[in-house]
Each structure stands twice: as structure tokens, then as C-alpha cells.
């Protein structure tokens, strides 16, 4: 498959992405919430359960993995990445190395991991990974985000994207403006617009093929601590407006992160955008918690709960596919 074919496939027919690339510490926090120890075997069992879910097929076009997971085998010896392929989804891999404080920019970070990236990408290509992900983090606060922070992060994102394409993998570029804080939806719009402008300027600078790239942005929302939360229609309209103004039309797809939204709210926002329409790219999902939360709780680390947990994941995957097609209705959530 070409880069363009891979990117198009992942978000075709309402499909989206299961983000299962939580680091081991993050996975540990999720497991703590259900009283399960975060051992390598338990993490393997949990992800195997997700990847074998019936609702993966036809609803999920790609799965982002963590380094540990792409190397693991299921309980029957099948490689987890092969389970994903058997479900009609493409395996992908998170390749950034986390956040580092920016000197002279208090409270701001830049994502690192360009050192040795080419060697890592070559290994992941040999393992069958078809796409990659790199996350930049932009915070809103007093006097931030600064241009220095935005440009440093978007420059790194663009360098990573070029390296991924040079190794035959589609880059997912993720400029996440965090929901954390008491900022307004207009503050979020401003930070998101500045980030997108800088991102696509840098992608052009490094001659990244936009048709073989996917964007994983935040939605334009109120800060999580803001006293008045913007409604679903306002979030949908402002997000579309921001994207239409700043995202090239030849990008194949926009797969939103959920960013701490509840699972149903993330679905409702995505559906509202697709019902409005008027854009050239596919608007889809790349959710972690918003796909997994109900399944994780139902599983609870108990083998006898696997089928119940898989049903929860399958339901959320189906709901988000409908939202990607603009065909979701709230009463479909009643089970």
C-alpha cells in the first residue's frame, strides 16, 4: 500500500483509530482504578481482549500501539499485531519519547525523540507497522502558549513526519491543546489555530506529503474548569471553522483525540460535526479512554468478564463509526 492508500484506508467508511499506546505508567494508573496490578502479562491480556473484540472489525481502521505491545504475543502465541491485522485494521506505533521542559518558557514543554528515530522506524517497519504517532502538548495559561513553544513542537512534529514517510509509514501528527484549565472556548480556538498554522507551515518546509498524513487534533472546547461549558453545537461549529481555515483540503483525514471528554460526549461532538458537513477530509476518531473506559471497568482483570468487556468496546466502536458518518443518535446508547 502507498502512503496515500494507508492514510485513506484508516479513516474509510466511518472507520477510526483505537489509541492503545498508553505508556506503562499510564496503563498502571488505569489499572489502579480497577484494582489490577500492572504487570506485563495483565497488560497483554487486557489488550488481547480489546483486539479480539468483534466490534473491531469494520469499525476500527488502525490501532496505535506502545513499544511493549507491538512485540507481544497473545495467550495462544499469535502476535498481537497479527490479531489487529486479522480484524481488518492496520497496526501503528507511538514513536515520541515524551515531554521535556523548554528553557526560558515556564510551564511549557517540547516533545522529544528525534534522536535515533530513523533506526526505531526501520525496526517498526520490519515488524509490520503501517503508521506512526507523535504527540505535542500545548497548554493554555497565563501568557501561554508562547510562539516559541508552538513552533518548537511543530518543527519536531514535521521532522518526525518526514522521517516516518521516508520509512514508508503514514505519520499521525498530534498537536494537542490540553483541556486542562479554566480558559474559554475562544482561548482554545486561538491556541488551536496558532498550532495548526505553525504545524502546516513546518510540514510544508520539510516537504511532507500531506496526502499521506493524518491529523489528530483536539476539539475546540471550553477548559475543563471553565464555569460555563460550551454546548455540543458550539463545539462542533467552532471546531469545524478552525479546521476549515487552517487545514489543507488534500489531507485525507482528521481523527480527533478525546482529550478527557466522556465517551458519549466525544461521540456526540464528532457526530454533530459530521451532520454539519462542508469539509473535504474525513472527520473521524482516534480515541483512547473514550473507547476503552467502559470495557476496562467491565473487565476488572477477570477472565470471566472478557465477553462483557468486549461487548462494551464493540458498542463504543460502533457508536463512533456512526458518528463519523453523521448517523449517530443519542437513543442508540440505550442498551
Percent of the chain at pLDDT exceeding 90: 99
Domain that includes residue 209, residue range: 3-333
Check if 15 is active-site: no
Question: In Å, what is the CA distance from 226 to each residue of 141, 279, 284, 324?
Answer: 12, 29, 26, 28
Q: What is the arithmetic mean of pLDDT over 225-245?
A: 97
Give the domain CATH number at 271.
Answer: 3.20.20.70
Catalytic entry in 162, 216, 238, 282: 216
Check if 216 is active-site: yes
Place of cell 502512503: 3
How does pLDDT run across 30-50, given as a tens digit for each residue? 999 999 999 999 999 999 999
Predicted TM-score (pTM) of the model is 0.97
pLDDT tier for residue 334 given thresholds of 50, 70 and 90: confident
Q: What is the arithmetic mean of pLDDT over 84-96?
A: 98
What is residue 65's predicted lDDT score, i.e. its pLDDT?
Answer: 98
What is residue 335's predicted lDDT score, i.e. its pLDDT?
Answer: 75
pLDDT tier for residue 164 given thresholds of 50, 70 and 90: very high
pLDDT tier for residue 142 given thresholds of 50, 70 and 90: very high
Catalytic entry in 22, 48, 108, 174: 174
How does pLDDT run across 193-225, given as a tens digit for each residue? 999 999 999 999 999 999 999 999 999 999 999
In the numeric block, which cell numbers belong to residue 103? 528553557
Q: What is the arithmetic mean of pLDDT over 235-261?
A: 97
What is residue 237's predicted lDDT score, i.e. its pLDDT?
Answer: 98
What is residue 309's predicted lDDT score, i.e. its pLDDT?
Answer: 98
What is residue 95's predicted lDDT score, i.e. its pLDDT?
Answer: 98
Number of domains within the chain: 1
Amino acid at each position: 500500500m502507498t502512503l496515500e492508500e494507508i492514510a485513506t484506508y484508516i479513516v474509510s467508511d466511518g472507520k477510526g483509530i483505537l489509541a492503545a499506546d498508553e505508556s506503562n505508567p499510564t496503563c498502571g494508573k488505569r489499572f489502579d482504578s480497577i484494582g489490577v496490578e500492572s504487570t506485563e502479562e495483565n497488560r497483554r491480556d487486557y489488550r488481547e481482549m480489546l483486539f479480539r473484540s468483534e466490534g473491531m472489525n469494520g469499525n476500527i481502521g488502525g490501532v496505535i500501539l506502545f513499544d511493549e505491545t507491538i512485540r507481544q504475543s497473545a495467550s495462544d502465541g499469535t502476535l498481537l499485531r497479527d490479531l489487529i491485522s486479522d480484524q481488518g485494521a492496520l497496526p501503528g506505533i507511538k514513536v515520541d519519547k515524551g515531554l521535556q521542559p523548554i528553557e526560558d518558557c515556564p510551564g511549557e514543554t517540547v516533545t522529544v525523540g528525534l534522536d535515533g528515530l530513523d533506526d526505531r522506524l526501520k525496526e517498526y517497519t520490519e515488524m509490520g507497522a503501517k503508521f506512526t504517532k507523535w504527540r505535542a502538548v500545548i497548554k493554555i495559561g497565563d501568557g501561554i502558549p508562547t510562539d516559541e513553544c508552538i513552533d518548537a513542537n511543530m518543527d519536531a512534529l514535521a521532522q518526525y513526519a518526514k522521517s516516518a514517510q521516508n520509512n514508508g509509514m503514514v505519520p499521525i501528527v498530534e498537536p494537542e491543546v490540553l483541556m486542562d484549565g479554566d480558559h474559554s472556548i475562544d482561548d482554545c480556538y486561538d491556541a488551536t489555530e496558532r498550532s495548526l498554522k505553525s504545524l502546516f507551515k513546518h510540514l510544508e518546509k520539510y516537504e511532507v506529503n500531506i496526502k499521506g498524513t493524518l491529523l489528530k487534533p483536539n476539539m475546540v472546547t471550553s477548559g475543563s474548569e471553565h464555569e460555563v461549558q460550551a454546548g455540543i453545537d458550539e463545539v462542533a461549529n467552532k471546531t469545524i471553522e478552525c479546521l476549515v481555515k487552517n487545514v489543507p483540503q488534500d489531507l485525507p483525514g482528521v481523527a480527533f483525540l478525546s482529550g478527557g471528554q466522556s465517551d458519549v460526549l466525544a461521540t456526540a461532538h464528532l457526530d454533530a460535526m459530521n451532520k454539519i458537513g462542508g469539509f473535504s477530509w474525513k472527520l473521524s476518531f482516534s480515541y483512547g479512554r473514550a473507547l476503552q473506559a467502559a470495557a476496562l471497568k467491565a473487565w476488572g482483570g477477570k477472565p470471566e468478564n472478557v465477553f462483557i468487556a468486549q461487548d462494551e468496546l464493540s458498542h463504543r466502536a460502533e457508536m463512533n463509526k456512526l458518528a463519523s458518518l453523521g448517523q449517530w443518535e443519542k437513543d442508540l446508547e440505550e442498551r
